Amino acid sequence: MKLTLCILAVLVGASFAFGSGYGPRLNVLGQDARLLLNDYNEIWAYPGTMAKYQFGIVTSESSSESDAWGLGWFGGVMEIDGATWGGTHNHGGDLLEVLYHGGNFGLIVGLDFSSKVPVGGEDAETQDVFNFDLAFGTEFDLFGDYTDFAIGAGYGSVKNVPTDTAATWEVTDTDLMFGASMRGHTDGLFNLFPIMSAGFVQGKNEFSSDDTTYSDTESTISVDFGAGMNKMFTDNTQFIGGVFIGLSNTSYSVSEGDAPESDMFVQLAHFKVGVDQHLLNWLVLRAGANSVTSYDKIGDADAVINTSISSRFGLGFEVGNFTLNADISQNFLHSGPYLVGGQANGFLSNIACIYEF
């Protein structure tokens, strides 16, 4: 289901990819929007910060883990008569997203729908899609100087039916999501503390025909807790980092037969770091890395401890109010350019052009 980033930014997924998503700068600097300040991605982590931003954006971004060029999205946010309004198209897969900030709260509403879209081999099926999501954010005094708070919910449905009118089956997938997150601002070394998030996701698959009906349900509860740092160490060097622990548990139920055993993932330590380095007044070099150590218990299999490390690099070009951010393609870094041959390893991927009003 393609629910908008405002839901992803207030839910902890089973892979603990909270806040990850669209944005070249976000992709490099820790892949967690909760660690960002003065970056437009902060809006979708904590909508209450929306009034800080006025910008227009056009992107050719895919996912945070892909070098492929995606469909991208475009939109903008600006102040109108004392309130902040915004809108996007195709952000997080939503057809339309409306943003509003008034007083001390921010609100994001996302909607995506389509009807009778041909899918499957030789267009043997048609598909109806409906997604709706809502995120609310504000700030109040709780931890440190002040605390950002966000809560979100989402619902999605995909129904497939046969093109052949003589067939009577249908398959329906539905997702229901709830989540919340808070982030304290302090004057200490870890100036973003505490960062706490929790989420619930339930997915249901149903098949029905004239003589058969069955369904299966997957439910995931996730929480995490951590501390973050976002500071300028020099006039030209910004450091972003965070350390988190967390837990995710997924249970299953089926209408027929025995349900699979539950899955549990314990995030023992997740380190996220990134550096923004101005080489020139218009050129920024970025580097970031993630290290995750987790205790994984999948079904009735033996538990294992896994460790993974990933890194990314990117560039930023800043001229006046205009900024162009891009990832350096991982294929380019790992394999270099193909000067001879049929494969092309592009230098940059996931480009975003932003103009600040």
pLDDT by residue (tens digit) across 197-242?
999 999 999 999 888 899 999 999 999 999 999 999 999 999 999 9
Please check whether residue 179 is in contact with residue 215, taking contact to mean a CB–CB distance below 8 angstroms: no
Of the chain, the end-to-end C-alpha distance in Å amounts to: 33
305 has pLDDT over 70: yes
What pLDDT score does 3 carry? 41
pLDDT greater than 90 at residue 245: yes
Percent of the chain with pLDDT over 70: 86
Kindly state the average pLDDT of the residues 68-72: 59
pLDDT digits (tens, 9 = 90+) for 75-101: 999 999 999 999 999 888 789 999 999
Q: Which helix (H) or strand (E) holds 278?
A: strand 263-280
Cβ(229)–Cβ(189) below 8 Å: yes
* Angstrom distance (rounded) from CA 290 to CA 63: 16
Amino acid code (one letter) for 61:
E
CA angle 219, 177, 156 (to 5 degrees): 105
pLDDT at 13 over 50: no
Residue 11 has pLDDT above 80, yes or no: no
Distance from CA of residue 125 to its chain's centroid?
Answer: 30
Hey, what amino acid is at 92?
A: G
> Does the pLDDT of residue 330 top 90, yes or no?
no
Is residue 29 predicted with pLDDT exceeding 60? yes
pLDDT for 335: 63
> Which is higher by pLDDT, 135 or 333?
135
Residue 62 clears pLDDT 60, i.e. is over it: no
Q: By the 8 A CB rule, do 101 and 90 touch?
A: no
Higher pLDDT, 321 or 163: 321
**pLDDT at residue 163, rounded to an integer:** 86
Rounded to an integer, what distance in angstroms lies between the CA atom of residue 30 and that of residue 33? Answer: 8
pLDDT at residue 325 greater than cutoff 80: yes
Interior/surface letters 175-199, b for 16+ CB within 10 angstroms, e for the rest: bbbbbbbbbbbbeeebbbbbbbbbb
Of residues 356, 349, 346, the one with CA closest to residue 314? 349
Question: Percent of the chain, pLDDT > 90?
Answer: 72
HSE (side-chain half, CA atoms, 13 Å) at 291: 7
pLDDT attached to residue 80: 95
Q: Is pLDDT above 60 for 342?
A: no
State residue 210's pLDDT score: 83
pLDDT of residue 329: 83
Band of residue 191 on the pLDDT scale cut at 50, 70, 90: very high
* pLDDT score for 123: 67
Q: For 103-133, what is each residue's pLDDT tens digit? A: 899 999 999 999 988 887 776 899 999 999 9
pLDDT of residue 259: 79
Decide if 156 contacts 178 (C-beta within 8 A).
no
Claim: this prediction has a pTM higher than 0.85: yes
Query: Among 118-127, 148-157, 211-220, 261-270, whose mean pLDDT is lowest?
Result: 118-127
Q: What is the pLDDT of residue 64?
A: 40
Distance CA 41, CA 284 (A): 18
Q: What pLDDT is attached to residue 168?
A: 82
Least Cα distance to 139 among 151, 127, 126, 148 occurs for: 148
